[in-house]
Amino acid sequence: MPSPVLIAIDASPASSTLLTLARRYCRPGEHELHVLLAIDSTFAVHEQPAPYTAEELEEYPAACQEQQHADHAVAEAVRELQQAGFASQGCMVAGLPVEAIVTKAQELNCELIIMGHRHLSRLGRLLDPSISAKVIDRVDMPVLVGSA
């Protein structure tokens, strides 16, 4: 059975760097790649990808747009990995990124987490601590941190 690897993306252009890392360090047939994107729960309209009602589009236009962007990013990442020969699946989760990444990695019994790192100043790290650092502190599996 292939070993699960979690790739935590954020729908930014830097996500392609994480997919490149996964293709470099993982092997089709040996690793099953799971793509995860966590969005703020205030921007989650549906738990699963689904069409929006006219009411939802009118009342929550920003949330609908954000969730559509997230769903599209996950689908594109999965498609790219599958084209490279990997067994791959993905999901968008509403919630705090650290909680979502740690929970999903533990649920899947992952061998590895691949995630990005934002380059912050000291003040920036003080005001908004690193998600990757928080994940590293909470899991007992390797975390490969890519830099954009």
Instruction: Give 53-71 pLDDT, tens digit per residue.
Output: 788 778 877 777 888 888 8
Query: pTM of the full predicted structure?
Result: 0.87
Lookup: tokens for 39: 């969005």
The answer to whether residue 49 scores a pLDDT higher than 70 is: no
Which residue type sits at 3? Answer: S
Determine the Cα–Cα distance for residues 70 and 142; give it in Å rounded to an integer: 26
Instruction: Give 86-103 pLDDT, tens digit per residue.
Output: 999 999 998 899 999 999
**Strand order of the sheet with strand 87-94?**
87-94, 31-39, 3-9, 112-117, 143-147
Counting the structural domains of the chain, the total is 1
pLDDT at res. 79: 98
Going by their DSSP bridges, the two strands 31-39 and 3-9 should be labelled as: parallel
- Using the structure block, give the residue that is written with the tokens 């998600």: 131
Q: What CA–CA distances, in Å, run from 107 to 39, 79, 99, 100, 140? A: 19, 23, 12, 10, 13
pLDDT at res. 83: 97
Determine the Cα–Cα distance for residues 132 and 90; give it in Å rounded to an integer: 19
CATH code for position 69: 3.40.50.620
Phi-psi region of 59 (alpha: psi -120 to 50; beta: other; left: phi over 0): alpha
- Percentage of the chain exceeding pLDDT 90: 55
